[in-house]
Structure 1
Amino acid sequence: MLIYPEINPIAIELGPLKVHWYGLMYLVGFVAVYFLGQRSAKLPWSPIKPEAIEDLVTYGALGVILGGRIGYVLFYKFGDFIQNPIMLFKIWEGGMAFHGGMLGVFVAMWFYAKKQNCTMMQLIDLIAPLAPIGLGAGRLGNFINSELWGRTTDVPWGMVFPNGGPLARHPSQLYEAFLEGFLLFVILQVYTSKPRPIMAPTGVAVFFYGCFRFFVEFYRMPDAHLGYLAFDWLTMGQILSTPMIVVGALLFYFAHRRLA
């Protein structure tokens, strides 16, 4: 069993000002997209110029934050939302959902594409290979917060989390950081190292994220208030990831079919 490295979730504390590691992980993702996006925008097939990346990141950040919060409330706390709609705005209480954030980014890119006279899919294809950096950083933030831990286990690398009870658990946040962050980043960088048809990079990103998330859900504890939704193993995360696998495969298929 490994020792959980208890890290203060507050990275910086200056009087009443408290900066949490989780918030800094979001910043890492946005900064990475900004700087790497500058490089990607210089490629011949980029739909926008490097100077447009700053606004793209701003639109994307709004999509992630608004979509992530709305998605969490609707997907995971819908009953509470019906009883108390104001909870949607209580961001300080925590609660973000990747699937909602992804949809938020699609909406944000749809608006920004109109401003740049290009298509939404061209913009999504541009930033999709960079998104795993933010995903991986976010999962590290979950690990530092000792949240979203895994199911109980007897594997040698199991950990006892401060708020996870006395039994060792899968460090599922690290599984996701590796799969959805590092591995997905490598896959997309290799795939997009040369020109690809429109929709294909997005299809690859969506497909593999859906597969990785569906797999990790077998080791991650479901939300306590939801539990398993069917068969004593199916989770909300798997239900939301299944359409991603299908849509990702379809985007990839139709992207290449257009060239046939």
Structure 2
Amino acid sequence: MLIHPHIDPIALELGPLKIHWYGLTYLVAFAGFYLLATLRARKAPYAQTGWNRQQIEDMLFFGVLGVVLGGRLGYVLFYKPMHFLSHPAEIFAVWQGGMSFHGGLLGVIGAMALYAWKTRRHFFEVADLVAPCVPVGLASGRIGNFINGELWGRLADPSLPWAMVFPAAGPDPRHPSQLYQFGMEGLLLFAFLWWYGRKPRPLGAVAAWFLIGYGTFRFIAEYFREPDDFLGLLALNMSMGQWLCVPMIGAGVLFLVLSRQGVWQRQADALASKQPAVSP
């Protein structure tokens, strides 16, 4: 049985300025996205359609806004709507914690749609470029959760070699679910999408597999993650995270079917015939 190592959440203090490890994981996520997206933009079919470093930087700006705004609003709406309805000023108190991946995903989808519209590209051309670059950022975020000793797992058998005591959660051993998510949503999903996205695929297929893969891995991980104490388990003994993954997986399957039928490609061809892609 292991004990969670107490790690100071503050990585660096410069006078009144305090830099937290969790904030640094966001920087690592955005930097990782930039590097990976730049690499993908040099490969077919993106190099042939005019993608360049400047466009990746512009898209990253849109994405950062989507992650922060969507993640916070998703937490407000999905997890504590009544609390924030009574305390609306706390919606802006992001330093107190409270971000939702599914809300961040919706924010990023909105940002990609806006970017696609501004550059006159098909949405799934943007989404297919972006999708394999996201899991590394998710992995970084889960390391931040582990450093903070938060979002711990459910109770575990003490004989489990990697069962861990999180002091803030009490004396009983638990699953280090942050590390499970690091491995599944981060490393495994990245490895699959990067491999799958190396070859030309039907338009929309890479993005569809991201939705299916993340939704499936997160659904599994939720069986080992302690539900939020203010929500507990919901209908069918499923957590909020699992319920949010159900439509995500369903949308991914639908998008994959439409992708293989060539629906998105026909739309993209029609769009390209009307107007050339331009920089925002």
- The reply to whether TM is greater than 0.5 is yes
TM-score after normalising by structure 1: 0.97
Unaligned runs of 5+ in 1: none
Choose which of 240, 243, 254 in structure 2 pairs with 1:239. Answer: 243
Question: Secondary structure, in 3 states, of the residue corresponding to 2:73?
Answer: helix
CA contact (8 A) 1:9 1:20 kept: yes
- Identity rate of aligned residues, in percent? 51
Question: Secondary structure, in 3 states, of the residue corresponding to 2:36?
Answer: helix
Superposition deviation, residue 162 in structure 1: 2.1
Choose which of 115, 118, 126 in structure 2 pairs with 1:115. Answer: 118
TM-score after normalising by structure 2: 0.90
For the pair 1:179 / 2:184, whether they are aligned, the reply is yes
Choose which of 76, 86, 109 in structure 2 pairs with 1:83. Answer: 86
Choose which of 252, 256, 280 in structure 2 pairs with 1:252. Answer: 256
CA deviations 1:161-219 (Å, max 9, x no partner) are 12111100000000000000000000001101101111100000010100001111111
Residues 117 and 4 of structure 1, relative CA distance in 2, 3 Å threshold = same
CA deviations 1:110-168 (Å, max 9, x no partner) are 11112211022211110100100000000110010111000011122111112111100
For the pair 1:139 / 2:155, whether they are aligned, the reply is no
CA contact (8 A) 1:66 1:101 kept: yes
Q: Which residue of 1 aligns with 2:208?
A: 203
In structure 1, C-alpha distance between the alignment counterparts of 2:260 and 2:194, rounded to whole Å: 19
CA contact (8 A) 1:106 1:120 kept: no
Unaligned runs of 5+ in 2: 264-280
Higher alpha-carbon Rg: 2
Matches within 5 A, 1:31-42: 31-42=31-42
Q: Which residue of 2 aligns with 1:61?
A: 64
CA contact (8 A) 1:39 1:50 kept: no
CA contact (8 A) 2:165 2:172 kept: yes
CA contact (8 A) 2:136 2:187 kept: yes
Question: Secondary structure, in 3 states, of the residue corresponding to 1:195?
Answer: coil
Matches within 5 A, 1:160-171: 160-171=165-176
CA contact (8 A) 1:42 1:49 kept: yes
Structure number with the bigger relative contact order (C-alpha 8 A, sep ≥ 6) is 2
In structure 2, C-alpha distance between the alignment counterparts of 1:86 and 1:178, rounded to whole Å: 36
Choose which of 49, 52, 56 in structure 2 pairs with 1:49. Answer: 52
With 94-103 and 40-49 compared, the bigger mean Cα shift is at: 40-49
Give me the CA root mean square deviation: 1.3
Q: Which residue of 1 aligns with 2:270?
A: none
In structure 2, C-alpha distance between the alignment counterparts of 1:31 and 1:246, rounded to whole Å: 30
Q: Which residue of 2 aligns with 1:28?
A: 28
Q: Which residue of 1 aligns with 2:268?
A: none
Question: Secondary structure, in 3 states, of the residue corresponding to 2:224?
Answer: coil
Count of matched residue positions in the alignment of Structure 1 and Structure 2: 259
CA contact (8 A) 1:42 1:50 kept: no
For the pair 1:225 / 2:230, whether they are aligned, the reply is yes
For the pair 1:128 / 2:121, whether they are aligned, the reply is no
Question: Secondary structure, in 3 states, of the residue corresponding to 1:128?
Answer: helix
In structure 2, C-alpha distance between the alignment counterparts of 1:27 and 1:131, rounded to whole Å: 13
